[in-house]
């Protein structure tokens, strides 16, 4: 006999697996909701809101909206200037968090809709995207293959977790080998009767960026109006989603992507392409201003900079917030430099989007 507690509180149907446990806003007892009812609720709410991306299927795996806190300690340490805030996508939930969860909610929904049983993706052995893909695939019952390049003396925490989440790891010698290897493995899986689904680097495709449009919506819905959002940018999907999201919502917040690796020109081109893909996907014209600052990359991707290390210390000592040296520290360094250069006035509000990545600080 089924346990009655495993009934959905809405449709009352017995559930083999209770995917979601929600609590009501006040002190009412907890209620269960099954996936089917959750999807119906989401689609009703999203259609009511009239958000163009609302009707596109996605999974609901993160904890939203992610919190926004004011950074009074950092503002004081910088000698005043604009009011500073932080949005914690690093607290997003699964896979040790970060912006990748938002994108993968859309990508994995498409994988499931295509009846895929296996997902594949690429990255470095420290890749946040690869780790989160492995975590979410485990969560929704998909097999996962990761094609990873790079060397390390110990075992990077992300690589350790990739294996712990049950992903099959394929090591390749360099970046250029990743995509061809992914295609080859996908073909082999298909030949063996599996249904593979390949995920692009960083899930930075228009569909994935819809998840970051939802981040823009959370920011636009905040009672504080933010003049600027600073965040780390690399494969461009996060920036494309934020810029497209603000434009769709007629929100004047400006997005400043701070490069973790490539030139401003190359990232801006990539962001613009993804935005146009989003426009096609949603059937809405989009042409946001795209601003990428590549002055804080230093010697290259993943190589810490003195400004980034200072940003790590300032955030840790004055806010108790940990940044990572690869992405968020360089983005924070750009924001700090512009505050020190008095580019902003005291009555402006600046938001720093913490996109996660702190596991780069740890080895297993």
Ligand X SMILES: Cc1ncc(COP(=O)(O)O)c(C=O)c1O
* Residues that are catalytic: 127
Phi, psi of 150 (to 5 degrees): 110, 160
Task: Output the smallest distance, CB 237 to ligand X, in A.
Answer: 4
Q: Least distance in Å: CB of 87 to ligand X?
A: 13
Q: Site mask, ligand X, residues 280-319, x = CB under 6 A?
A: ----------------------------------------
Establish if 356 lies at the interface with ligand X (CB under 6 A). yes
- Applying CB under 6 A, among 181, 234, 248, 349 the residue interacting with ligand X is 234
Going across the sheet that includes 349-354, the strands are 68-70, 83-88, 349-354, 228-233, 254-259, 291-293
Q: How far is the CB of 99 from ligand X (least distance, A)?
A: 6
238 binds ligand X (CB under 6 A): yes
Chain centroid, CA 162 distance in Å: 17
Residue choice 15, 66, 75, 128 for contact with ligand X (CB under 6 A): 128
Q: How far apart are CA 208 and CA 278, in angstroms?
A: 9
**123 pairs with which residues across the strands?**
148
| Residue 185, helix vs strand vs coil | helix
Check binding of 94 to ligand X (CB under 6 A). Answer: no
- For residue 98, the 8-state DSSP code is S
Q: Which of residues 147-166 bind ligand X (CB under 6 A)?
A: none
Contact 100, 364 (CB under 8 A): no
Out of 236, 245, 308, 325, point to the residue binding ligand X (CB under 6 A).
236
8 Å CB contact between 212 and 231: no
Pick the binder of ligand X from 81, 211, 288, 357 (CB under 6 A): 357
d(CA 111, CA 92): 22
> Based on CB atoms, which residue is closest to ligand X, 15 or 127?
127
Tokens matching residue 314: 């300032």
**Interface ranges with ligand X (CB under 6 A):** 98-99, 128-129, 202, 204, 232-239, 327, 355-357
């Amino acid at each position: 006999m089924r346990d009655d507690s495993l009934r959905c509180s809405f449709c009352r149907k017995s559930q083999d697996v209770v995917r979601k446990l929600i609590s009501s806003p006040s002190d009412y007892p907890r209620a269960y909701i099954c996936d089917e009812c959750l999807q119906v609720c989401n689609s009703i709410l999203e259609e009511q809101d009239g958000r163009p991306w609302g009707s596109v299927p996605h999974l609901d795996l993160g904890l939203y909206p992610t919190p926004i806190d004011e950074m009074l300690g950092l503002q004081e340490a910088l000698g005043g200037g604009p009011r500073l805030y932080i949005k914690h996508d690093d607290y997003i939930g699964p896979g040790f968090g970060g912006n990748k969860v938002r994108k993968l909610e859309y990508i994995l929904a498409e994988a499931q809709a295509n009846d895929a049983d296996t997902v594949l993706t690429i990255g470095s052995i420290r890749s946040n995207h690869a780790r989160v893909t492995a975590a979410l695939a485990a969560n929704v019952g998909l097999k996962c293959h990761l094609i990873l390049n790079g060397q390390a003396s110990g075992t990077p925490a992300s690589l350790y977790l990739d294996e712990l989440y049950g992903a099959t790891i394929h090591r390749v010698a360099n970046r250029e080998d990743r995509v061809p290897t992914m295609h080859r493995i996908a073909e082999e899986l298909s030949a063996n009767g599996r249904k593979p689904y390949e995920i692009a680097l960083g899930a930075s495709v228009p569909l994935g960026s819809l998840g970051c449009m939802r981040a823009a919506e959370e920011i636009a819905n905040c009672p504080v109006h933010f003049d600027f959002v600073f965040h780390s940018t690399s494969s461009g999907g996060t920036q494309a989603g934020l810029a497209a999201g603000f434009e769709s919502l007629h929100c004047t917040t400006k997005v400043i992507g701070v490069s973790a690796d490539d030139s401003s020109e190359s990232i801006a081109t990539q962001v613009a392409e993804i935005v146009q893909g989003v426009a096609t996907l949603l059937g809405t014209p989009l042409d946001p201003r795209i601003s990428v600052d590549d002055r804080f990359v230093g010697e290259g991707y993943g190589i810490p900079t003195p400004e980034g290390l200072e940003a790590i210390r300032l955030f840790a000592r004055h806010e108790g917030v940990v940044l990572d040296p690869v992405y968020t520290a360089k983005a924070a360094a750009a924001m700090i430099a512009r505050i020190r250069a008095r580019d902003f006035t005291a009555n402006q509000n600046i938001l720093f989007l913490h996109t996660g990545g702190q596991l780069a600080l740890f080895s297993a």
